[in-house]
Amino acid sequence: MKAPAIQRLRAKLQSHQPVFGLWITLESPSICEMAVALGLDWVTIDAEHGHLDWKEIIEHVRAAVRSHTVVLVRLAENSPALIKRALDIGADGVVIPWIETPAQLEAAIAAATYPPRGLRGIGAERATCWGQCFIEHTAEADEHVLVVPIIETVRAVQNIDQLARVKGTDLFFFGPADLSATAGFPGQWEGPGVADLIVQAKDALRKAGKHCGVIATDEANLALRREQGFSLLGLGLDGSLLLRSLHTMLAAQGRDRKIRAGFTLENDPAALAAEVPAKCAPPELRPDRDEVMNERGRGPQLEVAPGVAFDIMVGAHNQARNLTTGLVTFQPGAQLPYHKHGFAEAITLLQGRALAEVEGRRYEIGPLDNLTIPRGVAHRVTNLSRTQPAVFHIALASSAPERELVHQFFPRRSMPEVTQTQPGAERVTYVNKVERYSPGAAASFVDYFNTDLVPGLEMSGGYGLFQPGGRLPAHLHDFDESICIIEGQATCVVEGRRYRMEGQATALQPRGRIHYFINESAAAMGMVWVYAGPKPERIVVDEACATQPAVAWGR
């Protein structure tokens, strides 16, 4: 135990300074040494999840010896044996998972303190300098030891006022992922309403004089957590920080990919080829609407600014849900002024050259380049040509789109022509600088946007190029889809019905409709596709489900 380091941490917290730390999940003690060398206030060694054993844990503890970095060990459970062992090897404190009641927290504190106050046994181990410092260590240990519960269940939040009154602990961590799971949203970092629960519980703890900690997911989230009043700020997990850096570097070279469960790559050609079609579609996805094929100029026409016209192809007028798509034509030199939406927007330039500005960040884009803007982010677009119109494909993550004009000056900064995502803001994709993948025979795709590329995004989409004979397998989605044929001629097959599409015609495929696209022409065919769902997920089914009316949904 490093009493001076603990005192220093507590002094910072009492003077309302943030204390920054790192969550350690990997075995190399060099990681802890780096954290110490960078002057981090604390590290937490995770012995609940992952593979760290006690030999690796003690090497991390040793890496922080005689430093100002507090070392905590996150245990697998609220166990007196585990608490004693972590403290005996020299940890400055323990992080206890799944604390829900005052009795559980009081038991953890008792296990971390010596008699007569608690139940901790005295061992001739590293904490007592192998028995050489019994008196010195026991005299100071109870005063300084840190017992940090994690609030990670709905029940814990419900009991937060009682937990705040327990004496013997002044630090609390929050676990958003587990809290989301207990709220009915497994797999989400902060499911619907969970963010508010965390802030409310944090406010109750702060009112009781406690300090609260959480791990940030990125730079923008770190700033948000600090604004919200969290004072123990985790910069991230060591493995996650490494992956984030790798993703950033790969994205700059157009090579970024997502890892999927089973250690395969997202949209990996081998994995897609190995998809085993289901014999039929899940009955719970049975559609309640028919597909709609839309030609240019047949839907609502909207002038959104002088010289800027929106030809709405998919939207509320044809019963689309959570999605509006269409074509926007900018007359020469026309500009759509700064505005923002309460939902995400994606713009893909089809013709011409344009300048897109997002809060002053300026991107010059050409045909098939895409800019995606999350909700609440101000942006504007200008046609750079004084003689030729510019045409965009527009996608909005709402079936009732509206906008709010933004009258604010943003300092201008020209951005490099590199595919990138601004943390907490926009993503720009230069189509010739990103890696493509094949979701079907003789077809190559580019992902423009999804929740993995732009965290929190409500929709997903991209560009597909089909060579002659190129096609997708018969499939369906758990959300509505818009497909705009921007080049060549396509055949769309929907449950036995065949449609010939070209000239920027756009198909609305409702949730559950079984379909596929095929290029039956002698020239290439290109499309822009948009899903009203955050990830490009599909269910592949037997070919007969799309080609024979009697097979699909038992007709």
> Which residues, in sequence order, are CB contacts of 8 under 8 Å at separation 6+?
41, 68
Is residue 254 in some structural domain? no
> Which residues, in sequence order, are CB contacts of 335 under 8 Å at separation 6+?
305, 308, 380, 381, 382, 383
Q: Are residues 86 and 122 both part of a single domain? A: yes
Q: Are residues 187 and 306 both part of a single domain? A: no
Category of 220 on φ-ψ map: left (φ > 0), alpha (ψ -120 to 50) or beta: alpha
Q: Are residues 240 and 154 both part of a single domain? A: yes
Residue among 157, 147, 150 nearest 203 (CA):
157
Range of the domain at 10: 3-248
Q: Are residues 304 and 344 both part of a single domain? A: yes
Contact call for residues 337 and 419 (beta carbons, < 8 A): no
Contact call for residues 286 and 553 (beta carbons, < 8 A): yes
* Alpha helix (H) residue ranges in 253-318: 269-273
Burial of 200 (0-12, 13-18, 19+ CB in 10 A): exposed
Q: What is the DSSP letter of 233?
A: E
Q: Are residues 223 and 299 both part of a single domain? A: no
Q: Are residues 236 and 282 both part of a single domain? A: no
State how far the Cα of 369 lies from the Cα of 429, in Å rounded to an integer: 6
Q: Are residues 355 and 459 both part of a single domain? A: yes
CATH number at residue 297: 2.60.120.10
Beta bridge partners of 34: none
Residue among 312, 303, 374 nearest 508 (CA):
312
Is residue 409 in some structural domain? yes
Residue among 475, 442, 449 nearest 463 (CA):
449
Q: Are residues 17 and 80 both part of a single domain? A: yes
As for how many domains the chain has, the answer is 2
Q: Are residues 278 and 403 both part of a single domain? A: yes
Q: Are residues 24 and 116 both part of a single domain? A: yes
Helix (H) or strand (E) holding 327: strand 324-330
Q: Which of 248, 270, 293 finishes a domain?
A: 248
pLDDT number for residue 195: 92
Q: Which tokens in the block code for residue 173?
A: 């961590």
In order along its 555 residues, the chain shows pLDDT tens digits of 999 999 999 999 999 999 999 999 999 999 999 999 999 999 999 999 989 999 999 999 999 999 999 999 999 999 999 999 999 999 999 999 999 999 999 999 999 999 999 999 999 999 999 999 999 999 999 999 999 999 999 999 999 999 999 999 999 999 999 999 999 988 888 888 899 999 999 999 999 999 999 999 888 899 999 999 999 999 999 999 999 888 778 766 656 767 766 666 666 655 555 556 777 778 889 999 999 999 999 999 999 999 999 999 999 999 999 999 999 999 999 999 999 999 999 999 999 999 999 999 999 999 999 999 999 999 999 999 999 999 999 999 999 999 999 999 999 999 999 888 888 789 999 998 888 888 888 999 999 999 989 988 999 999 999 999 999 999 999 999 999 999 999 999 999 999 999 999 999 999 999 999 999 999 999 999 999 999 999 999 998 989 987 777 665
Q: Which of 217, 248, 279 finishes a domain?
A: 248
CATH number at residue 164: 3.20.20.60
Phi then psi for residue 145, to 5 deg, are -55, 140
Contact call for residues 352 and 389 (beta carbons, < 8 A): yes
- Its pTM stands at 0.60
For the chain, the distance separating the N- and C-terminal CA atoms, rounded to the nearest angstrom, is: 72
Is residue 253 in some structural domain? no
Q: Are residues 239 and 362 both part of a single domain? A: no
Is residue 77 in some structural domain? yes
State how far the Cα of 386 lies from the Cα of 366, in Å rounded to an integer: 15
pLDDT number for residue 252: 67
> Which residues, in sequence order, are CB contacts of 395 under 8 Å at separation 6+?
323, 324, 325, 345, 346, 347, 348, 459, 461, 482, 530
Q: Which of 195, 221, 248 finishes a domain?
A: 248
Q: Are residues 242 and 304 both part of a single domain? A: no
Query: Pairing relation of β-strands 171-174 and 146-151?
Result: parallel
State how far the Cα of 182 lies from the Cα of 323, in Å rounded to an integer: 30
Is residue 62 in some structural domain? yes
Is residue 437 in some structural domain? yes
Query: Pairing relation of β-strands 390-396 and 345-351?
Result: antiparallel
Is residue 397 in some structural domain? yes
Is residue 102 in some structural domain? yes
Phi then psi for residue 392, to 5 deg, are -120, 150
pLDDT number for residue 94: 98
